[in-house]
Structure 1
Amino acid sequence: MKLIHCPKVGTRPASEFVYGGLWRPMPDPDACSDTEWCHYVFHRDGAPGVQREWWCHAPTGMWFVAERDTMKDEFLRTMTVAEAMREATDG
């Protein structure tokens, strides 16, 4: 059985989770250019490898960010949205 670690409730069966798509920090819509906004909305990196993704623990409604190797379908780590945003702004 595949297991996923949720930052809120710990390790649970994968059947309790819902994939929410690629995670990327959103630019400020009031401050970014049309080109930057267009790139955010329409461009995705679908290359295999390590990606950050939205995941939701369905029973609690807890959304979090997972770092996953899409080539191996292996979860490397999970983090709260606040932690992911902090990392994105730190470097």
Structure 2
Amino acid sequence: MLLIECPYCGVERPELEFRCGGEAHIARPEDPSGKTDEEWAEFLYMRTNTKGVYAERWRHIHGCGRFFNAVRDTVSDKFLKIYKAGEPMPDLASLAKEAGK
């Protein structure tokens, strides 16, 4: 079982208290009505789905209920960095290098 530390609560809890919300730092279109069906489908459904170091959005559903971001190695399931929503994405290459990837 994975243990995840909520950056808001400051406690490390089992992964069962959290839900992954997919790729982090996806910018929503400023004018969705101006997008074609193909562009809208691209925004809604297409994600990077990287093997290795990947930035994800998580929610502490059985705790504070807040969203946060995490950088996780999808191969080993190891969390490399957890940070609050709204904070800039860390350099993934540096985190991968520090983790020996």
Identity score, percent: 36
Q: Deviations over 1:5-61 (max 9, x none)?
A: 111112222221111111133144229865765543332112311111111111211
More strand by share: 1
Structure number with greater Rg is 2
The correspondence for 1:74, drawn from 61, 73, 78, is 78
* Separation (CA, whole Å) in 2 of partners of 1:71 and 1:82: 26
Query: Scaled by the length of structure 1, what TM-score is found?
Result: 0.73
> 2:44 maps to which residue?
41
SS in 2 for 1:83: coil
What secondary structure, in the 3-state scheme, does the structure 2 residue paired with 1:15 have?
A: helix
Which stretches of structure 1, 4 residues or more, deviate above 4 A after TM superposition? 31-38
Q: What 5-or-longer segments of structure 1 have no aligned partner?
A: none
Structure 2 gaps, min length 5 = 91-101
Alignment partner of 1:30 is 2:34: no
RMSD (Å), alpha carbons: 2.5
Instruction: Report the count of equivalent residues.
Output: 86
